[in-house]
Structure 1
Amino acid sequence: MAGLIAMNWCGAALAEPPASRVFKPRVKATAPAYVSYTTREGDSLYDIASRYPSDPADWALLSRLNHVSAPRRMPAGIVLRLPAGKLRQDPEAARVVATSGPAEHAFGKNPYVPVTASTTLVEGDHIRTGPNGFVTLELPDGSYVTVAQDGELDIGKLRRTTLTGAGDSIFELRRGEVESQVTHATKRDDRFQIRSPSVVAGVRGTRFKVTYSGAAQTTAVAVLDGAVGVDPLGSRGRDTAPLPGVPLQASRQLVEASFGSVTRSDGAIGDPVELLAAPALSKPARVQDGKTVAFDLVPAEHAVGYRVQISRDADQLDLIRDQRVAAPHADFGDLPDGTYFVRIAATAANGLDGLPQVYAFERRQLGLEASAAPRAGGRDYEFRWFVSSRPNVETRFRFVLATDADLGHPIVDSTDLSAGQLVVSDLPAGVYYWTIVAEQFENGRFYEKNSAVRSFQLAR
């Protein structure tokens, strides 16, 4: 049996004691059936019906409902009741603000075409992404919806009620994951929902993720900010999620920020469980100057895996890489030079990704090759090195030679070298250790890279 989770955000939910993590069912409230309209000078029922209800012929309904005749003009200040379910909604559009990798969209039954930045999508559009493919939409109210890699999302509804200004946004998640950053509701009837084949997740202002696995027929919801309400699917598939205007307190179950819930294939909605704490990078300040971009994480307690994502922005709206690993190490291969942001999270045995931690890092490729060889007929040693430098950036070098592997007591420490060659003469017999440090200064920042510590032995 399929299940349904409905999520609404409301500040009043936070009035619950912080220690209360699993919430008891509440009695569901009835959504308001009407909205009021106060007439202005020159209004008539005909004008009001042409502007606000979805059917201009509803002037007769307004006449009966409000017990007024249908004069051509009405005095200002009369409060009329209009059926909320019959109000006209105007279509809105979402704008693609970031996309990377394989990503495409199709309207209705039209063929799929690539998604590009500034593409405008509307109700009826379908979005799908491939491996390392991502799309982020910006809605008219400033909310963001990000489709992760290997995902499918349909825009089911994207409208705004003409009379009240309330927004109504419904997205259908077919597979994969969608992350939403929803602005706080400004209208009582604002609605935002992410629906999967087994749940409906609706909020009124929060940041949360919904992940649907078609193979396992499970939906995981993780709440990063705000709070959500969870409601089951009613009989015969009837949607029992709170209607627009119903407060969060009417939800069957509440899940706070830093908690998540998993709905299994039998439709049973899991109790709220605490998300794992955010892990940490072992070397957060390290410049990524190697052949590949790689990260080592500090192992997290209770983690069965880790999720590591790379984005061009701190809010993770412009994702470009996404990787799940079993061990606390992730290697993404090559990336162009630039400034990026990495987001890391620990994954629990229930499949929920934990709280994220975001770090900025710099990708700056700086290849350094070094070699050494004895000169024939003597005790001189020649050292050579080469750096694949950035254009128009001067590189200086430091050469260190010692008799101990940690280079703690160097016998040669030459700095500010510009050439790629150095000869050390009259070395006594023994074992030696050495390294080259490449140093660059650009745009007010200092960069350095060490070659591996190498060793050689001079015989008597």
Structure 2
Amino acid sequence: MSSTLRTILSSALALLIGALLSGPAFAQATGARGEYFTYRFVPGDILLTLSQRFTQNEENWKTIRKINGIADQYKIPVGFELKIPFSLIDEVPASATISHLRGKAFLNGSPITQTGGQVTEGAVITTDTNSNVTLTLPDDSKVLVPPNSSVTAKRLQRFSGTGYIDAIFTIDRGEVQSHVNPDGGGVGRFEIRTPVSVTGVRGTILRAGTRQGQGDYSTIIKGQADFSQADGVILTRLASNQGVITDGAGQHSGTRALLPPPVLHPMGGQSHNRELRFDPVPGAVAYELVLAEDSEGYDVLWSQRITGTTATLPAVRNGTVYVLVRSLDQQMLAGAQAVLTIEQTMNTINDRQGSPIGVGNGSYLLQSAF
């Protein structure tokens, strides 16, 4: 092979790698730190084009350079984390879709009767006992509002130049579970706030909540997050399988490792077999059981906490059901989940067309259930 041909092939390969690295699947948006959006430099980036992409004004590159203390814009190393003020970023309103509903829940005080509705900035989602609501954001992030919770979509915007999401949810009561940026395309900002803390997500599976008069908690199953006081002062950084608890004043005693999931025993393929057994986990004081339509546990059909290692599962739907089990430590923090797939059959009462008769919010009229 001639040296000229090798040079051409090497150049083409470099261009291909650069295009792949700068494409959506390898986007380098890394979330937010306080009032700044953060972006990690990849090959081919220059301030002028980044300014146009994120602020819709290429002239803002001068302000961005000054904020970041950049002396030479042509010598910014790959991997450098650039800060861009959210005040400069051009955003447009976004909305989340109610993708799953179970039980009695409310949107801005009105009953939610079906999926598909839109949740916009400022909306309040409230769940009753044995009810839950799942929201899907435009970037496919999932937000689960479990039973006995009240959550406000304080901010719900989208970067007009890239489609990154700028979302802030405040927990007034209860908790929130979320899977942020599941496709790895990057996140503009995703924060969970309580009266005394802020958890800033950077590509994460997160659970956060409040305990009346006893402070807050946040747990990270996958990824990382900054855990801060309400005034923005970072208290600690959470990595995968770590959690933190605060007191009523927002003080914490450090991060703690979350318990591993239990080992589940096979249940077999028979739809009538509902006996779940699993091995005990050292340090666990209880276990959280979830039956869901999806393997990640966001479309919840039933949930319960138990202290033993056996349970009789209810029949919740016809077809595939995912069984998820999480270990709870002495502070009742849940770790990662073990997942088991089973098949179930329900004796529904059908209409003349053979379709199950619904009784509202995902439930059906039954003759009997196994």
Q: Do Structure 1 and Structure 2 share a fold, with TM-score over 0.5?
A: yes
Which residue of structure 1 aligns with residue 361 of structure 2?
none
Closer, same or farther: CA 294–195 of 1 in aligned 2, 3 Å: farther
Which residue of structure 2 aligns with residue 124 of structure 1?
122
TM-score of the superposed pair, with normalisation by structure 1: 0.55
Residue-by-residue CA offset, 1:150-186 (whole Å, 9 max, x unaligned): 1111110011233565431001111222111111775
Closer, same or farther: CA 284–198 of 1 in aligned 2, 3 Å: farther
Report the secondary structure of 1:298's partner residue: coil
Which residue of structure 1 aligns with residue 226 of structure 2?
229
Greater mean alpha carbon deviation, residues 159-168 or residues 137-146: 159-168
Residue-by-residue CA offset, 1:64-85 (whole Å, 9 max, x unaligned): x89xxxxxxxxxxxxxxx9751
Which residue of structure 1 aligns with residue 265 of structure 2?
282
Return the alpha-carbon distance in structure 1 between the equivalents of residues 266 and 86 of structure 2: 56
Structure 1 residue identity aligned to 2:112: P
Say whether residues 1:318 and 2:299 are aligned partners: yes
Return the alpha-carbon distance in structure 1 between the equivalents of residues 299 and 185 of structure 2: 27
Residue-by-residue CA offset, 1:136-155 (whole Å, 9 max, x unaligned): 11111121111111111111
Structure 2 residue identity aligned to 1:309: V
Q: Mind listing any 5+ residue stretches in structure 1 that lack a counterpart?
A: 1-9, 14-27, 39-47, 54-60, 67-81, 242-251, 367-460
Indicate conservation of the 8 Å contact 2:37/2:189, yes or no: no
Count of residues in correspondence between the two structures: 287
Report the secondary structure of 2:232's partner residue: coil
Runs of 4+ in 1 over 4 A off after TM superposition: 10-13, 28-33, 35-38, 163-166, 184-187
Give the C-alpha shift of residue 301 in structure 1: 1.4
Structure 2 residue identity aligned to 1:159: Q
Indicate conservation of the 8 Å contact 1:295/1:329, yes or no: yes
Give the C-alpha shift of residue 270 in structure 1: 3.1
Indicate conservation of the 8 Å contact 1:260/1:273, yes or no: yes
Say whether residues 1:240 and 2:228 are aligned partners: no
Closer, same or farther: CA 124–286 of 1 in aligned 2, 3 Å: same
Structure 1 residue identity aligned to 2:247: R
Structure 2 residue identity aligned to 1:175: R
Which residue of structure 2 aligns with residue 297 of structure 1?
278
Closer, same or farther: CA 194–363 of 1 in aligned 2, 3 Å: same
Return the alpha-carbon distance in structure 2 between the equivalents of residues 297 and 304 of structure 1: 14
Give the C-alpha shift of residue 91 in structure 1: 0.3
Say whether residues 1:155 and 2:136 are aligned partners: no
Say whether residues 1:353 and 2:350 are aligned partners: no
Report the secondary structure of 1:345's partner residue: strand
Say whether residues 1:218 and 2:212 are aligned partners: no
Q: Which has the larger radius of gyration?
A: 1
Trace 1:309-388 onto structure 2 (pairs within 5 A). 309-364=290-345
Which residue of structure 1 aligns with residue 243 of structure 2?
260
Trace 1:169-180 onto structure 2 (pairs within 5 A). 169-180=167-178
Closer, same or farther: CA 89–337 of 1 in aligned 2, 3 Å: closer
Indicate conservation of the 8 Å contact 2:197/2:227, yes or no: no
Return the alpha-carbon distance in structure 2 between the equivalents of residues 232 and 225 of structure 1: 22
Trace 1:413-452 onto structure 2 (pairs within 5 A). none
Structure 2 residue identity aligned to 1:267: G
Which residue of structure 2 aligns with residue 101 of structure 1?
103
Q: Which has the higher contact order (CA 8 A, sep 6+)?
A: 1
Structure 2 residue identity aligned to 1:306: Y
Structure 2 residue identity aligned to 1:325: I
Give the C-alpha shift of residue 264 in structure 1: 1.9
Closer, same or farther: CA 270–330 of 1 in aligned 2, 3 Å: farther
Closer, same or farther: CA 140–280 of 1 in aligned 2, 3 Å: same
Structure 1 residue identity aligned to 2:280: P
RMSD: 3.6
Report the secondary structure of 2:144's partner residue: strand
Give the C-alpha shift of residue 31 in structure 1: 4.4
Give the C-alpha shift of residue 330 in structure 1: 3.1
Closer, same or farther: CA 115–364 of 1 in aligned 2, 3 Å: closer
Residue-by-residue CA offset, 1:369-402 (whole Å, 9 max, x unaligned): xxxxxxxxxxxxxxxxxxxxxxxxxxxxxxxxxx
Residue-by-residue CA offset, 1:404-429 (whole Å, 9 max, x unaligned): xxxxxxxxxxxxxxxxxxxxxxxxxx
Closer, same or farther: CA 97–222 of 1 in aligned 2, 3 Å: same
Give the C-alpha shift of residue 90 in structure 1: 0.8
Indicate conservation of the 8 Å contact 1:198/1:217, yes or no: no
Give the C-alpha shift of residue 286 in structure 1: 5.7
Structure 1 residue identity aligned to 2:91: Q
Indicate conservation of the 8 Å contact 1:101/1:320, yes or no: no
Give the C-alpha shift of residue 240 in structure 1: 3.0
Q: Mind listing any 5+ residue stretches in structure 2 that lack a counterpart?
A: 1-26, 39-45, 65-83, 348-370
Return the alpha-carbon distance in structure 1 between the equivalents of residues 86 and 286 of structure 2: 48
Return the alpha-carbon distance in structure 1 between the equivalents of residues 197 and 142 of structure 2: 20
Report the secondary structure of 2:125's partner residue: strand
Return the alpha-carbon distance in structure 1 between the equivalents of residues 28 and 116 of structure 2: 33
Closer, same or farther: CA 12–258 of 1 in aligned 2, 3 Å: farther
Indicate conservation of the 8 Å contact 2:142/2:178, yes or no: yes
Give the C-alpha shift of residue 195 in structure 1: 0.9
Return the alpha-carbon distance in structure 1 between the equivalents of residues 163 and 35 of structure 2: 21
Closer, same or farther: CA 160–331 of 1 in aligned 2, 3 Å: same
Among candidates 200, 203, 209, match of residue 202 of structure 1:
200
Structure 2 residue identity aligned to 1:346: S
Report the secondary structure of 2:294's partner residue: coil
Indicate conservation of the 8 Å contact 2:281/2:327, yes or no: yes
Return the alpha-carbon distance in structure 2 between the equivalents of residues 232 and 84 of structure 1: 20
